[in-house]
Amino acid sequence: MIMERHLASVETTESWTPSSWKHKPAVQQPTYRDKPALERALAELRLLPPLVTSWEVLALKRKLADAAAGRCFLLQGGDCAESFGDCISPIIANRLKVLLQMSLVLMHGLRLPVVRVGRFAGQYAKPRSADMETRGNITLPSYRGDIVNASAFTAAAREPDPQRLIEAHSKSALTMNFVRALIDGGFADLRHPEYWDLAWVEHAPLQSEYQRMAQSIADSMHFVETLADEPARADARVGFYTSHEALLLDYEAALTRQVPQHWGWFNLSTHFPWIGMRTAQLDGAHVEYCCGIRNPIGLKLGPEVKPEQLLRLLDVLDPDNEPGRITVITRMGAAKIESELPRHLHALKAEGRRVLWCCDPMHGNGETTPNGVKTRRFENIRAELETAFDIHAACGTRLGGVHLELTGENVTECLGGARNLTEADLARAYKSTVDPRLNYEQSLEIAMLIVRKHGASIAAGPSPGHHARQPQRAMLIPV
Ligand code: PEP
Ligand code: CO
């Protein structure tokens, strides 16, 4: 079956160019009124330097293949949407700190390296349920993320502005530059996890448990250094990769390049683009675009998709069943995961598909409070994640990663968690202009929960082909 489909997909790739998506229906794209201004901005973007390199992209692909095989665990997280205004040092550093702390908890508990992927340095475009928004008797284009327009409800703010494409590239570059500099400067050094403490965190319920793990890792590092009689060098530094939804195809195509070192085309605006749930049509422009790039691709999977549709998407996006190429990010919702996920797992397993399974317990669990506030309940997020582990264990497949919306700011956007945030708390520090994010404590709690569940699912019996737990030393080899 794969062979027949493979032949069909070869035709697709042979006619592929970075702009062949223009011959397919492209949903979720803004309408720019000033076409010459758009062309000028895209011409400028095509000349600007890339944000990542092809060898980083390929290195991440290998790590995702490792995660699929159970040799490491993927932690992907960040804002629902970055905003230009949030491209400031404390927000970038705090987000990095939370992800570092979570990864430390995961390394310690899972005894596995963790591959860290931020939803940042380019997560500026948002899909919307309607093209237009009406308030009272005024109708304006919907806000589509800072790369397109501004969120204020005025005609000027909502007009798609091509110059924002250039600004998104600059802000992504500034974010990347700061993240890389922090990491190179020792900020992410495992011997000094105290650098990652968040200034505002006081008396956090999980802090002391976290501090104990951090100290134990730092002690292990010092111990190994003492034995080796030399510093742990690069091993002590952790790496970071970037990801964003490949939504605004003009932007993605302008950053799609060929490089002297490797064959083929790379999206060099990010290491790891993903296809959102609303744009995963088999004959659509987004799938066509992603077919031709060599980056690893994330594919969101919601409850409406049938296993046969998923298989056909994989035939087109990954005709060679290449390790690390596809990460299926399931986002079923706590209420539907039990009925929807197993058949996908069985279908892909039956076809020998080697995808990395990742759980996004955020996007299927949105709700609106009686006061009209968009929120998510921690208990639903937790339930979806725990159920995902159970379902994978029962199907003999492996959950190799998690995809979260979180921030290092002290926000109150999701209900529940260790401090049991209530609807009244939401008013206190709700900052997201799009989806509600986990705050620091809730994020750390999720990391601890993953450790508990992952351990339990291994204890329940390894799935076929499962690798034995890594030796203790594995936690000292960050990726
Ligand atoms: C998102 O990740 O912010 C998003 C919109 O997700 P999905 O495509 O799964 O709805
Ligand atoms: Co979101």
Neighbouring C-beta atoms of residue 136, cutoff 10 Å: 6
Hey, is 100 helix, strand or coil?
helix
Nearest 5°: CA angle at 400, between 399 and 403? 95
Candidate from 278, 297, 402 with most ligand 1 atoms within 8 A of CB, to mutate: 278
pLDDT higher than 70, residue 264? yes
Task: Give the model's pLDDT for residue 244.
Answer: 98
Question: Mean pLDDT across the chain, nearest whole number?
Answer: 89
pLDDT higher than 60, residue 383? yes
Q: Which of 62-71, 96-105, 307-316, 394-403 has the lowest mean pLDDT?
A: 96-105
pLDDT higher than 50, residue 79? yes
Mean of pLDDT values over 260-267: 96
Spatial contact of 60 and 75, defined as CB atoms under 8 Å apart: no
When computed from its CA atoms, the radius of gyration of the chain, rounded to whole angstroms, is: 22
Task: Give the model's pLDDT for residue 6.
Answer: 41
Residue nearest to atom 4 of ligand 1 (CA): 276
Distance 360 CA to ligand 2 centre (A): 10
Q: Residue 456: which pLDDT band, with cuts at 50, 70 and 90?
A: confident
Among all bound ligands, the one having the nearest atom to the CA of 403 is 1
* Element at 245 (helix H, strand E): strand 241-245
Looking at domain 2-126+162-460, which CATH architecture does it have? Alpha-Beta Barrel (3.20)
Q: Which of 36-40, 320-324, 450-454, 469-473 has the lowest mean pLDDT?
A: 469-473
Candidate from 80, 119, 381 with most ligand 1 atoms within 8 A of CB, to mutate: 80
Hey, is 77 helix, strand or coil?
strand
- Residue entry with tokens 């960040």: 78
Q: Residue 439: which pLDDT band, with cuts at 50, 70 and 90?
A: very high
Task: Give the model's pLDDT for residue 30.
Answer: 97
pLDDT more than 70, % of the chain: 89
Where are the alpha helices (H) located in 396-435, listed in sequence order?
A: 423-426
Distance 329 CA to ligand 1 centre (A): 10
The full set of domain ranges for the chain reads 2-126+162-460
Distance 122 CA to ligand 2 centre (A): 14
Distance 457 CA to ligand 2 centre (A): 28
Distance 435 CA to ligand 2 centre (A): 5
Among all bound ligands, the one having the nearest atom to the CA of 405 is 2
Mean of pLDDT values over 343-366: 98
CA–CA gap between residue 357 and residue 298 (Å, rounded): 10
Return the ligand 1 atom nearest residue 119 CA: 2
Spatial contact of 242 and 221, defined as CB atoms under 8 Å apart: no
Task: Give the model's pLDDT for residue 221.
Answer: 74
Among all bound ligands, the one having the nearest atom to the CA of 437 is 2
Mean of pLDDT values over 112-126: 97
Residue nearest to atom 9 of ligand 1 (CA): 277
Task: Give the model's pLDDT for residue 227.
Answer: 79
Return the ligand 1 atom nearest residue 300 CA: 9
Distance 157 CA to ligand 1 centre (A): 23
HEC string for 129-144: CCCEEEECCEEEECCC
Question: Of 248, 33, 27, 35, nearest to 131 (Cα)?
Answer: 27
- The pLDDT tens digits of the residues spanning 168-177 come to 999 999 999 9
Dihedral sign (CA 157, 161, 163, 166):
positive
Task: Give the model's pLDDT for residue 465.
Answer: 40
Q: Which residue has the higher pLDDT, 6 or 15?
A: 15
Spatial contact of 81 and 145, defined as CB atoms under 8 Å apart: yes
- Residue entry with tokens 């995660």: 67
pLDDT higher than 90, residue 216? no
Task: Give the model's pLDDT for residue 462.
Answer: 45
